[in-house]
Amino acid sequence: MHDVLLSFGLIILAGILFRRIRPAGTDPDEVRRVINACVLNLFLPALCIKTLLQSPVDRETLLVPVTAAITTAAALLLAFGIYAALGKKMHLSPRETGVLLLASAFGNVTYLGLPVLTGLYGVTAAKYALFYDLLATTPLLWIVGAALAARYGEGQKLKPNESLKIVASLPPVWGIIIGMALHEAGIPLPAFALSMLEMLGGLVVPLMIFSMGLALSLPKIRHAAAIIPAVVIKLVAGPLIAYAIARVLGLTGIALTSCSIEGAMPVMVLSLLVAARFRLDVSLAAFMIVVTTVLSFFTLPFVISLATRMP
C-alpha cells in the first residue's frame, strides 16, 4: 500500500517539477490539457472497454454508483448546512462558498482513485472506480454541481438538457456501455484488438497521475481557515459515509473497500474547470485541490487499513 502511494507521489512530484522547470519552453498548462484530452477521448475509453469486456458486472458492481450518488449527496448537504451557518461569520463571498460546497462533495475518484484501486487490487478493481465516477460522480457534477456553481458564481447558467448532453457525450461512458454490451453478447475480440486496448488503457494511470502534478500550484488564499470544514468532510466524513452506505446496501469485500477508498479521495481536479466556467473563486478551488491532495497521502493509508479490517 505504502509503495503504491509512494510511487504515485513521485510521479506527481515529476509533474510539479515539469511545471516549474518547463523543459524546452513548454507550457505546462497546455501539456496538461493535451494529456487530459488524450486520456478522456482515447486512453480511458479503451480501458473502460477492456475492463468491462473481461469483468462481469454483478449486483455489487451496479450498487457502487448508488453508493457514490448517496455519498456525494450526503457530503453536499452536510457542507451546505455547515457553510450556511458559518459563511457569514467567515465573511465568505458566494463565489468562495460555491467552491467549498463543490470541494466537499466531489472527489478525484478517477485521476487518483483508479490508480490507487488498480495498484492495490489489480485491474479487475478498475470497474469499481469507473462505475463510481462515470455513472455517479461525474454526472452529478455536471447536473447538480453545475447548477450549484451557476447559483453561486457569475458565469453563464447551464440548462439541465445541456448538462445531460455533456454527460451523454463523454467517451468513457460510451466505453463502459460498449464493454458491457460486448461482454453480455459474448462477442470475442481478436488478439490484436485486445492487445491494442491493453496498451492504450495502460497509459491511463501514469498519465493521470502526472497530469495531477502538472495541475498543482500554490495560490494565495484569503480564507485559509474557511477550508477546514470542507477538508474534514472530504477526507474524513466522506469515507465514513461511503462505508456506511455501502454496508447498508450489502456490499462486501473489494467492492466495499473500493467505495470507502473512493469516498476518501481529495478534491476532483475537474472542479477547477467548473469553477472557471461559472466564475467561482478559481484560486480557492486550486488551493483546495492542493491541500486535500497532499493531506490524502496521510489519510488514505488509514482509510485503506480501516476499510480492510472492519467487518
- Answer whether CATH 1.10.274.10 is correct for domain 27-309: no
Degrees, nearest 5: CA angle 258-260-264:
110
Mean pLDDT of the chain: 86
pLDDT digits (tens, 9 = 90+) for 18-41: 988 998 888 888 888 888 889 888
69 — pLDDT class (breaks 50, 70, 90):
very high
The pLDDT of residue 241 is 96
> What cell numbers appear for 300 in the block?
488514505
Residues 6+ apart with CB under 8 A from 214: 15, 16, 18, 19, 28, 29, 31, 32, 35
| pLDDT higher than 90, residue 142 | no
Residues 290 and 216: beta-carbon distance below 8 Å? yes
Name 107's bridge partners: 267
Q: What is the DSSP letter of 310?
A: -
**What is the three-class DSSP state of 107?**
strand
Residue 69, CA distances (Å) to 27, 167, 204 in order:
36, 15, 24
| pLDDT higher than 60, residue 1 | no
Domain positions in the chain are 27-309
pLDDT digits (tens, 9 = 90+) for 76-99: 999 999 999 887 788 888 888 999
